[in-house]
Structure 1
Amino acid sequence: MLKEHKLFRAFSTTLVLAFSVMLVACGNVKRDEFSAEMAAIRGEIAEGDEGVERRLGSRVDELENELTTFRAEVETALQDLEQNFDMQMERFQTALRFNAPVFFAFDESAIRPEDEESLNQFAGVVSEFFPTSLVTVEGFTDQIGSRDYNLKLGQERADAVKAYLVDQGLAPERLRSVSYGEDTRRLIVHGAVDQDSGLDNRRVVLVIDHTDATAGAQQVISGRSNEIGNN
């Protein structure tokens, strides 16, 4: 808005100076006539300024409405993940953490067919609303086995989910995978020492890192701002 306003003012000032020189060069222009002509030009400039402000003000209003709509769409998509796909979401200042319902068979890293749909939906939300954010896949295990072995197994599980998300269209450079193994600080079920009771611990957690809670919306603002600057 400021750019367009400055350009208009610069053009208007140049126009006034040029017209002044033209009138003076005529030599036979009376002072009253000159003043009247200048007043008319200034009036047109003022009307032009108001037109620019109205036009850009309208664009700003449209942008604000689109931003409000965008935020509502993000919230709807996140709520859908929580309610329809049982992804428990935690909000942080710079991240969204999803305790995804993606579990693994004992000593396995293959994704179960019944867990694919929730990953598909998650990939869709990231693609649409957080395309430039970093997504971290955290792999976990139960407490059966050695710590080193479980760190390795947790990494294999995280890598498997990362590869699956890439297959769903997410950019590999925007994905990373890490393992927490049997980290007791992150266990869902404590004291689970058999294959059946440890299922909830054999999982992945998905984290979307961003600069603030409306990271996706910032991309909309940027795109719309460029449109305004180019019009």
Structure 2
Amino acid sequence: MDYSHKLLYGAIVTLSVILIGCGGPPQNNPLLVQAEESYRVAENDSLIVMKAPVALKEAEEALEQSQQIWREKGDAKYVEHYAYIAQQKTKIARETAKLNAAQDEVGRAEAERQRVLIEARRAEAVAAEQRAKEALEEVEKTRSEAEDLANRLSEMEAKQSERGMVLTLRDVLFDFDSANLKPGASNVVQELSNFLNEYPERTIQIEGFTDSVGSEEYNRTLSQRRADALKMAIVRNGISAQRIQTIGYGEQYPVATNMNEAGRQQNRRVEIIISDENGVVTQRNQ
């Protein structure tokens, strides 16, 4: 295999890897900045401009769409979606330019060898395109599942926090100074059980809190008993106990003053932290 064919082979293999890599979803807004920088470098590369104008144009269009959504303060996930596409299209343009340049060099080689090589590369390109299509379909499936999860958590009135999604329940589960679930708590138990059945990769951590009335040790024990009571109710609905952790914090971490009843009522609560997709719950750092 002479140098020109090695160049062609390397360019195509690299392009295949890039195409397969198109499946990874964007993670955050800085992706737009990265996409802009990648595109600026590409548009100043004469080889890319000459050898891959179509792919470069597609990258530009995706980038402009991301920038427009950003300027209009649109949904961040769409900013990231088109920025991600722009970045991948820019990479594809770069590798396409290398491929086309290599093919030009091959074109100067002996005719029969050229025909054989092009046919082999065409088959590889078709296979790579199919793999890229499957990867993109998997990304769309993952994105759809993520949207379903977000809608489900929204229905449960879970809120985003630095620890992930948190569902806060105040005075709906227990009477004052009691760890026995109220009859009305059955709806909450059923909702949590349904959620854990729908998303078997998720776990939860139930955290109990009280106001400052009573001793610190008594309040800690009461909050632990309340968290355990909710856990057992969910377990009785068929959910594995291994997927539910409980902690009683007592009067720690108040969210309001304990100097009046309104504040104490807010502090008497149960928080349910939803794990990430790997079943990991972020713990408190203070």
Give the structure-2-normalised TM-score. Answer: 0.51
1:207 match: 273
Pick from 34, 59, 66: which aligns with 2:134? Answer: 59
Is residue 77 of structure 1 aligned with residue 147 of structure 2? no
Flag as ranges the 4+ runs of structure 1 deviating above 3 A: 38-41, 131-134, 196-202
Aligned-residue offset at 1:35: 7.2
The 1:113–1:188 alpha-carbon spacing in structure 2 relative to 1, beyond 3 Å, is farther
Unmatched runs of 5 consecutive residues or more in structure 2:
1-12, 18-109, 279-286
Count of equivalent residues: 171
Q: For residues 59 and 109 of structure 1, what CA distance do their matches in structure 2 show?
A: 51
2:251 match: 182
Does the Cα contact within 8 Å between 2:256 and 2:263 map onto a contact in 1? no
Aligned-residue offset at 1:134: 4.0
Aligned-residue offset at 1:106: 2.3
Does the Cα contact within 8 Å between 1:137 and 1:158 map onto a contact in 2? yes
Q: Deviations over 1:106-125 (max 9, x none)?
A: 22111112122123223333
Amino acid at match of 2:124: D
Does the Cα contact within 8 Å between 1:138 and 1:158 map onto a contact in 2? yes
Map residues 129-140 of structure 1 onto 2, 5 A cutoff.
Answer: 129=199, 131-140=200-209
1:48 match: 123
Map residues 93-172 of structure 1 onto 2, 5 A cutoff.
Answer: 94-101=163-170, 102-129=172-199, 131-172=200-241
Which structure features the higher share of strand residues? 1
- Secondary structure in structure 1 of the residue aligned to 2:246: strand
Relative contact order, higher structure (CA 8 A, sep 6+) = 1
Map residues 11-50 of structure 1 onto 2, 5 A cutoff.
Answer: 36=112, 38-50=113-125
Q: For residues 91 and 44 of structure 1, what CA distance do their matches in structure 2 show?
A: 54
Q: For residues 197 and 186 of structure 1, what CA distance do their matches in structure 2 show?
A: 9
Unmatched runs of 5 consecutive residues or more in structure 1:
7-33, 217-231
Bigger Rg, which one: 1
Q: CA RMSD in A?
A: 3.0
Does the Cα contact within 8 Å between 1:105 and 1:199 map onto a contact in 2? no
Q: Deviations over 1:97-143 (max 9, x none)?
A: 221244311221111121221232233334434x3344211112233
